[in-house]
Amino acid sequence: MLSLPPPYALRPMTVADIPAVLTIDRASFPTPAHEQLYYNELVDNQLSHYQVLTRAAENGETILGYAGFWLIAGEVHISTIAVAPAERGRGLGEWLLLNLLRLACELDPLLITLEVRRGNTVAQALYAKYRFEEVGVRRRYYRDTGEDALLMTVDLSAQPDYCAWLAGRPLRIERRDAV
């Protein structure tokens, strides 16, 4: 896990985190996930890896965002990244992505993939910053809106320096902070 500047931290997601994750999920996606999905991912799915981004406070911690991926047949598929709406625009999603990518590199994958809504240009720019390339379109992928998904990948056979390059990325990301 990345070591973040206090009061922020990253840690593996637990079942106890599901209510807070669902709150962020509902605010982030037109068709939110069900509690059972996250429960199954954490308890039953040996291929899944989920994390939460927290901010410490006097009365405990607040979950600000979460992310996850699956490792399937040498491919890391990033399944979700979300940050609470009030916390967006501060680089927290980038911390989640960078940590996912570093964790993925420890698993020695051949390929890292994700889908992103065609209209989500902010996320597309972030993924491009981390060397993802658009390799296809999944027509009408999102059932809720009928929007297309762009398929983006990092092909590690074509970028053998990728994990070393990632390891050299700064831990501190320039961001405006309004805690």
Beta strands per DSSP E along 28-176: 48-57, 60-72, 75-83, 111-117, 133-138, 149-155
- C-beta separation of 63 from 52 below 8 A: yes
DSSP state of 91: S
- C-beta separation of 16 from 37 below 8 A: no
One-letter identity of residue 133: E
Pull the structure tokens for residue 50. Answer: 């989920």
Query: Of these residues, 115, 130, 142, 162, which one is catalytic?
Result: 115
Q: Could you confirm whether 38 is annotated as catalytic?
A: no
Q: Could you confirm whether 35 is annotated as catalytic?
A: no
Query: Of these residues, 8, 127, 130, 162, which one is catalytic?
Result: 127
Tally of CA atoms within 13 A in the half-sphere of 84 that contains its CB:
14
The residues carrying an active-site annotation are: 115, 127
